[in-house]
Structure 1
């Protein structure tokens, strides 16, 4: 899984020439990606994601989605059931994504629906093409985490900058 920002790009941004800080910079890249994913609900690197829904017909918070790989639930007898692809339609081209069907099966009381999907941008270039603000926020977060290793004021300022840049991508819940 390629991170949206490479170690070499981050080192250029930070003006680091040696390899002494490579492990920490790599960690800062992963932390920045995770922060952005948590804040926006966007998946920046292509991977398998499992989302648990409270019921059929609920919106998916994960995006972008390349494919829905499995939809499972427990029926009224407590048996795990995997829906066949022909039993639902996945609207994944825009956000929010969701699954629809002519009629949903009855689930066991208190049960949830698990949707396993391949999600995320295919390449770092795809992230940048979607929004340069994502990449800018990620660079600022990496720099903030690098310069303020204990998570103080510099890291907080970087996160506030990222929030301002990414607010439009956030999925608000009511």
Structure 2
């Protein structure tokens, strides 16, 4: 599930609450299954064809980050994420990175392309009414995690990092 974009003046429908409720329930289940103080990779898939071209591209990833953030690519958190590799990357660790939840700063960007340090970017999702079905669907603004694959962590010291490949 994706996060609902809450804002002043929003016409709230029951689907907003249903989507938010599903997100919280999914998060709770993942944390309970993960155990106490537990984070790491649950599942990861890399595009082998792109890897042969020098690009690491994660097409599927289920993980819990050190701050408890749940990652689910592509089902919840968007499309694959990629990083161009070169000879300087040999024997280096590849990290999945996200910005921490900001204090007194902007939480999201309008688009993925304009996102730099924002934790989320806006997207649209059609959500059906859980009680009425698809005939009562509406389009909601949702927030997706703004994730990066990085090698050099020096510019990302305040980011939440999880090693995913070497």
Q: TM-score range by the shorter chain?
A: under 0.3
Larger CA Rg, structure 1 vs 2: 1
TM-score calculated relative to the size of structure 1:
0.21
**Larger RCO of the pair (alpha carbons < 8 Å, separation 6+):** 1
TM-score calculated relative to the size of structure 2:
0.22
Structure richer in helix, relative to its length: 1
